[in-house]
Amino acid sequence: KTVIRASGVCSGWREAICLGLTRLCLSWCKNNMNNLVLALASKFTRLQTLILRQDKPQLEDNAVETIANFCHDLRELDLSKSFKLSDRSLYALAHGCPNLTKLNISGCSSFSDSALAYLTSFCKKLKSLNLCGCVKAATDKALQAIAYNCRELQTLNLGWCENVGDPGVTSLAYGCPDLRALDLCGCVLITDESVIALANRC
């Protein structure tokens, strides 16, 4: 809020703020986040951290596509509870934000496993990935892609991803040697096979 108010003082200050800003949180925006992102993204080209956590879904694909078009230096992105987003957003991020190291898409229930796998084939620097509640996206197929592409992964949240099974988890155990934290709460399909693989490899 402070940055946006300050930017209204004069055009020179506005330019200085926009060009130098590396971290932005818009979670306070309760009603018009999508339009705000559309208006601001092109001005904040040096952003490295962007937090767009929502209490009620506001963000749409066009906002994420705009972020991907202008914010190529993004390292951390929080899109949690963005229920309106579709696979279009993940495809856009794959091409526009390949340097992501931390991505939170928890609660984004419309993403598919194919789109998630595609994202990881470009965003290979991911170290932290939150997929809690992403039931359609977090499948064994997607986890196998993550294990193959994201070898630097350290933290993965798969809470309540009920389609996750042993093939996916064992792939992670073998493909992500730096894995330190793995949340499998509610993953009812996994068996001792997954536990043994994690114990032996991580």
pLDDT in tens, 117-144: 999 999 999 999 999 999 999 999 999 9
Domains in the chain, start-ordered, CATH in brackets?
Answer: 28-40+52-201 (3.80.10.10)
Residue 12's pLDDT is 46
What is the reported pTM?
0.92
Q: What digits encode the pLDDT tens for the residues 179-190?
A: 999 999 999 999
Q: Are 82 and 55 in contact (CB under 8 A)?
A: no
Return all residues near 180 (Cβ < 8 A) that are at least 6 apart: 154, 155, 202
Could you count the other beta carbons within 10 Å of the beta carbon of residue 167? 16
Q: What digits encode the pLDDT tens for the residues 12-69?
A: 445 546 668 999 999 988 889 999 999 999 999 999 999 999 988 999 999 999 999 9
